[in-house]
Structure 1
Amino acid sequence: MAAGFVLDGDILYKRGKDQVLLRCVDAVEARKILKDVHEGICGTHANGFTMARKIMRLGYYWLTMESDCINFARKCHKCQIYGDKIHVASLPLHVMTSPWPFSMWGMDVIGPISPKASNRHRFIFVVIDYFTKWIEAASFANVTKTAVCRFLKKEIICRYGLPERIISDNALNLNNKMMKEVCE
């Protein structure tokens, strides 16, 4: 028997650096453990080295564990889509300056918020001036294009005048024919 390994009945253990016994597993069980630790109910989509340390803390071991963890993390579809884009070519920054107060506003919707507010509202409609960082906000049960247009007329245009620009994320309730009519 190699140094650091202990046989207890039919189960093989490896003695870790901290003298804790780690149960040796076969390739089939190793694949299941990799999947559970990486993307299971408590999975964090960690990188290979972190995942290998986490598996050892859980009490498992196999000879090619670290390289298997690295390869598994590299092939994870969600990690590829949502991971940091560190190898992407840099893009020039576009300066967004507002020449005077209340000339350029950004708008977005926060929600759905859970639990609902006491008045049963689930969404917050927020409009922010880029120059002063002044915020106008209101809560709504549903953010419809009618509610957005009414809010912009009453709270922004009537108070601060027609802005030069209104920036949104192109959601249908924020960017539609009714909005164009309000701005015209």
Structure 2
Amino acid sequence: REFKVVTDHKALKWLQETKSENTRLTRWKLQLQEFGDFEIVYREGENHGNVDCPSRLPVDLNAITRDMNEHILKIHQELGHAGSQVVWQHLKRKMESPPSENKIKQILDECENCMRFRVARTQPAKIRGIALYPWEKIAIDTLDMGSVTSEGNRYVIVAIDYFSKWVICQAIKEKTGKNIKEFLENKVFNEFGRPNVLVSDNGTEFVNKEVKNLLRKHEVRQSLCSPYHPQSNGLAERANRTILEKLAKTLWNTGKEWDQELQKTAFAHRCCIIRELKASPYEILFSIVPNLTGKEKSLRQDLDTQKLQDKIRKRNLEIEKNAEEGNTTAVLEPGTKVLLDGFRNKIKKKKLTKKWLGPFVVVSAGKSGQYIIKDGFDETLVANRRHLLEYKGKEPISSFQAEGDVMQAIANA
């Protein structure tokens, strides 16, 4: 019985029609003839979907819907504009199939707030010992915000638990022993218990009769580090830097004052997952994944305290090792859009003003990390690599004049 075989395999039709006497081809033709008298009809693959559909199904692109995109940005904002790793870790705890970290990073890379207020990282500071359980040891410091709010606040007291990295903040008008004493007693001791050790610098707000009497009363030992050298109180210094960065990102273009968003920023810090520990301060203390939106469900976390202690020890050793080895910075190619560090500009010395100026364009790279950059009017200047940040946003090229006294920023570097 004659029949037709319709296929998108064109070589099969050629095999049936060829006159070649090649022994291998002849053997294949004889094997096909065992199935009877049939005709091979070629059909192009794109028109052969009726039988070829399994191999031509659309590839799963893991596309992110508009709602999911908005949800990711919402979580990003609630976590104080945390990075893609932290956002992904949170979503992984709340969703069965969260988007990949790379997809999340692509979304967050275009966050204008993050690009404008990202802090340039220096070598990590060493940690003054470790803690084996929560609230065994805390660090405390004050942060000058550089601007006075309508409530009269200019400073922030920041305390952080060495074990869980839980942060407590309070806005104050003046750095006085009385304010430090009241903060420790009301916000730390009466809510979380008495630590064994309090780490601080020897500034007058920490070394005074009021604070000394409070610590003696509760049998807390004070460990002092060098003033005007923040690296010696590394844990508190990193907390200060993170709080400042998150506040700047949150406040940009909102019209709000920093003390109105301080507690929200502190909460965001507590909810951010520490990469090496794979848990947030909130989870370490309460064994619950915090809800950041009303749509999320509460999930318990079973944490192994001993493993957590081992991870903390390992992490501290890595921090010290990295502090000794330093780090490297990627090379910027000509044509790359960049932002210029405006932090050293005396005109823009307020801590919550826009940190990064631009964008501008890299013209060429010179010796010793020097780069020539230009603005939208082809004006050029020289900047060091450590003062440049690659820009991935969509803003048009700016001008040096529009960004203020850019030359002053370079002169002060």
Taking structure 1 as the reference length, what is the TM-score of the superposition?
Answer: 0.47
Q: Which has the higher contact order (CA 8 A, sep 6+)?
A: 2
Query: Could you say which structure has the larger radius of gyration?
Result: 2
Q: Which has the higher helix share?
A: 2
Taking structure 2 as the reference length, what is the TM-score of the superposition?
Answer: 0.21
